[in-house]
A and B are shown apart, each in its own frame.
Chain A
Amino acid sequence: MSKPAAVALPSKEAELRAAFWDQAATFPKGFKIRDCIQCGTCTGSCPVAHAMDVTPRELVALFRAGFLEEVLRSRALWMCASCYACTVRCPQGIRITDSVYALKRVASRMGIFPRTFPAHALSEAFVGNIHSFGRNWELWFGLRYYLATRPQRLVSATIQKFAVRMLRRRRLGLAPARVRGMKEVRAIIAKAQSIGGL
């Protein structure tokens, strides 16, 4: 049997793949995603697979079939809770959770997100908090996230009840938690961003 002819990828797909392999080079054996045998152990182990539009096994299949943009547009990436159940059970030793982080970084860099749900807004609100305070001031993080996504949630009974309960129990940080050495924090962020990459 002759070798199948290589199929040329559309340029956008090729660009995304290159960006993914760059990210996959930042952790040991990032290339192992190529060794997937499609057994589905990851999907079977994933506590949120039932709610994903694309399951972990399908993410890998789509990636290998040349549909990385579809992968990046999936909600599934942003639904991963980083529990590492897939990673520790994968018989091929693929670091699935780290691969999902790599995919999320490509999505962030390329500005490709699921159309219907701003799930990455949570990461952005969290990172924004670190840039402002050096720490995650939980109260401000909640405000930031809901204002960016669903402001009406802030007046919902669930959120208000949560806040009041925590306040009554001395578990709501009213004063901003702030790092004194913000100069250092900013210097680190600026330097890392100037190096770029990883």
Chain B
Amino acid sequence: MEYAYYPGCSLEATGRPYDVSLRLVFQRLGIGLKEIDDWNCCGATSYISMNKLTAYSLAARNLAYAERMGLDVCAPCSSCFTILSKVNRHMRWGDTSKANINEVLAAAGLSYSAQLEVLHPLNVLVDFYGIERIQERVVRKLEGFRVAPYYGCQIVRPQGRFDDREDPQQLDNLFAALGAEVVPFPLKVRCCGGMLMTSYEEVALRLNRDILGAARSAGADVIVTTCPLCQVNLEAFQDRINSTFGERFRVPVVYFTQLLGLALGLSPAELMLDAMIVPLPDCSPRPVEVHA
């Protein structure tokens, strides 16, 4: 098994723990991950709001490079996953849509046949690698962790290609198999607001308050996420939520690959669990020294 890896911009900065833990988990399981050389931004929800042909053509540049590698694409960020999947579908929708984008790509000496699959790592791990095979590699059962599985929006919608759009089960099944107690989590696919935390903070704070509150009501002591935007919104703005709404949340929010990595015997430091703001129990943070 080998995939063309599209990390996306967030995974180079705020989402680094996702990038680091994903690479290690795949390495440990023997799944190949080759980064697409010199990839560019997928455009997220912003470029498609301004100019669709430019947005899709820029995203397609990455797919063109993946095609040269002869590998299907693995995209961990929910927004990147959705945009790259949308471009793929768009190019398969009709001859004109494919021809238009290829006409633009030709200006950069590129072309794309729209034959690749775009996959999310959760999809790769659960459907292609298999939970049973993952279980065979487990060295530390996740007993004692009460996990709220948070999928967010864009890996289950709009298509729902690899899991249910209203009540997905893949994180639930994965973490139950790893020995964790997975709590029933009604807001598992509720939106965190994404970039609204920047543009309409008061709205986004409320959305995240609701999600954290649902996790608390369900008795969770950690939220696992699949998306860098969800992770930052839920974790980095927790104290702002507390001061705004008079709450006292202190819930760790980690990438699903970090918790999976612990089960596979990787250390908290390797998995960048020490880079989280709210520490997981037994995984105290050890931030690096900052020199002025």
Contact B157 A83 (CB under 8 A): yes
Question: Assuming the A-B contacts A48-B203, A82-B153, A188-B104, are A179 and B38 also in contact, with contact meaning beta carbons closer than 8 angstroms in the complex?
Answer: yes
Contact A168 B287 (CB under 8 A): yes
Question: Assuming the A-B contacts A179-B38, A188-B107, are A88 and B46 also in contact, with contact meaning beta carbons closer than 8 angstroms in the complex?
Answer: no
Contact A170 B58 (CB under 8 A): no
Complexed CA–CA distance, A81 and B82 (Å): 13
Residues of B within 8 A of A83 (CB): 153-154, 157, 191, 194
| Beta-carbon contacts under 8 Å, A19-36 to B | 23, 26-28
B17 beta carbon closer than 8 Å to chain A: yes
Residues of B within 8 A of A173 (CB): 12-13
Question: Assuming the A-B contacts A51-B200, A122-B199, are A105 and B50 also in contact, with contact meaning beta carbons closer than 8 angstroms in the complex?
Answer: yes
A61 beta carbon closer than 8 Å to chain B: no
Q: Which of B47, B109, B157, B275 contacts A170 (CB 8 A)?
A: B275
Complexed CA–CA distance, A85 and B166 (Å): 9
Contact A126 B44 (CB under 8 A): yes
Query: Distance (Å) between the CB of A72 and the closest chain B CB?
Result: 13
Question: Assuming the A-B contacts A101-B52, A134-B41, A162-B236, are A169 and B200 also in contact, with contact meaning beta carbons closer than 8 angstroms in the complex?
Answer: no
Contact A195 B53 (CB under 8 A): yes
| Beta-carbon contacts under 8 Å, A84-103 to B | 84-85, 87-88, 95, 97, 101
Most buried by A among B51, B100, B285: B51
What are the interface flags for B254-287 relative to A under an 8 Å C-beta threshold, 1 for contact and 0 otherwise? Answer: 0000000000000000001011110000000101
Residues of B within 8 A of A88 (CB): 157-158, 160, 165-166
Residue of B nearest to A124 (CB): B50
Contact A97 B158 (CB under 8 A): yes
| Beta-carbon contacts under 8 Å, A169-198 to B | 169-173, 177, 179-181, 183-185, 187-193, 195, 197-198
Complexed CA–CA distance, A122 and B51 (Å): 14
What are the interface flags for B190-223 relative to A under an 8 Å C-beta threshold, 1 for contact and 0 otherwise? Answer: 1101111011101100010000000000000000
Contact A138 B13 (CB under 8 A): yes
| Beta-carbon contacts under 8 Å, A130-148 to B | 130, 134-139, 142, 145
Complexed CA–CA distance, A177 and B43 (Å): 15
Contact B41 A191 (CB under 8 A): no
Query: Distance (Å) between the CB of B212 and the closest chain A CB?
Result: 14
Q: Which of A187, A188, A195 contacts B100 (CB 8 A)?
A: A195
| Chain A, interface residues (CB within 8 Å), range | 35 or more
Residue of A nearest to B106 (CB): A191
Query: Distance (Å) between the CB of A44 and the closest chain B CB?
Result: 13
Complexed CA–CA distance, A171 and B240 (Å): 19
Most buried by A among B93, B191, B207: B191
Complexed CA–CA distance, A88 and B154 (Å): 12
B173 beta carbon closer than 8 Å to chain A: no
Residue of A nearest to B109 (CB): A184
Complexed CA–CA distance, A169 and B202 (Å): 26
Question: Assuming the A-B contacts A84-B153, A142-B198, are A188 and B105 also in contact, with contact meaning beta carbons closer than 8 angstroms in the complex?
Answer: yes
Residue of A nearest to B200 (CB): A79
Complexed CA–CA distance, A124 and B199 (Å): 12
Residue of A nearest to B49 (CB): A104
What are the interface flags for B18-61 relative to A under an 8 Å C-beta threshold, 1 for contact and 0 otherwise? Answer: 00000000000000000000111101111111111110011001
Residues of A within 8 A of B43 (CB): 127, 130
Query: Distance (Å) between the CB of A96 and the closest chain B CB?
Result: 10
Contact B53 A81 (CB under 8 A): no
B110 beta carbon closer than 8 Å to chain A: yes
Contact B104 A192 (CB under 8 A): yes
Query: Distance (Å) between the CB of B211 and the closest chain A CB?
Result: 10
Contact B108 A187 (CB under 8 A): yes
Q: What are 13 A-B interface contacts by the 8 Å CB criterion? A: A26-B52, A47-B190, A82-B153, A83-B191, A88-B160, A120-B49, A122-B195, A130-B47, A138-B13, A177-B9, A180-B38, A192-B53, A192-B57
> Could you tell me which A residues sit within 8 Å of B by CB distance?
23, 26-28, 47-48, 51, 78-79, 81-85, 87-88, 95, 97, 101, 104-105, 108, 119-120, 122-124, 126-127, 129-130, 134-139, 142, 145, 158, 162, 165-173, 177, 179-181, 183-185, 187-193, 195, 197-198
- List 4 A-B pairs, minimum CB-CB distance, nearest first: A173-B13, A83-B191, A126-B46, A84-B157
> Could you tell me which B residues sit within 8 Å of A by CB distance?
9-10, 12-17, 38-41, 43-54, 57-58, 61, 82, 90, 93, 97, 100, 103-110, 153-154, 157-158, 160, 165-166, 189-191, 193-196, 198-200, 202-203, 207, 236-237, 240, 272, 274-277, 285, 287-288, 290
